[in-house]
Chains A and B, each alone.
Chain A
Amino acid sequence: GAGVSQTPSNKVTEKGKYVELRCDPISGHTALYWYRQSLGQGPEFLIYFQGTGAADDSGLPNDRFFAVRPEGSVSTLKIQRTERGDSAVYLCASSLSSDYEQYFGPGTRLTVT
Chain B
Amino acid sequence: KQEVTQIPAALSVPEGENLVLNCSFTDSAIYNLQWFRQDPGKGLTSLLLIQSSQREQTSGRLNASLDKSSGRSTLYIAASQPGDSATYLCAYSGNTPLVFGKGTRLSVIA
Using a CB–CB cutoff of 8 Å, the interface residues on chain A facing chain B are 4, 33, 35, 40-45, 48, 56, 58-59, 91, 93, 98-99, 101-107
Using a CB–CB cutoff of 8 Å, the interface residues on chain B facing chain A are 4, 31-32, 34, 36, 42-46, 49, 89, 91, 93, 96-103
Min C-beta distance of A5 to chain B, whole Å: 10
A-B pair number, CB within 8 angstroms: 57
Min C-beta distance of B62 to chain A, whole Å: 15
Residue of chain B at shortest CB distance from A59: B96
Q: Which of A40, A102, A105 contacts B98 (CB 8 A)?
A: A102
Given contacts A56-B96, A99-B93, contact A42 B4 (CB under 8 A): yes
- How far apart are the CA atoms of A104 and B42 in the complex, in Å? 10
| A106 x B43 contact (CB < 8 A) | yes
Residues of B within 8 A of A93 (CB): 44, 98
Residue of chain A at shortest CB distance from B9: A40
Min C-beta distance of B75 to chain A, whole Å: 15
| B44 x A45 contact (CB < 8 A) | no
| A40 x B102 contact (CB < 8 A) | yes
21 pairs, A vs B, C-beta closer than 8 Å: A40-B102, A42-B4, A42-B101, A42-B102, A42-B103, A43-B89, A43-B91, A45-B96, A56-B96, A56-B97, A59-B96, A93-B98, A99-B32, A99-B93, A101-B49, A103-B46, A104-B36, A104-B45, A104-B46, A106-B42, A107-B43
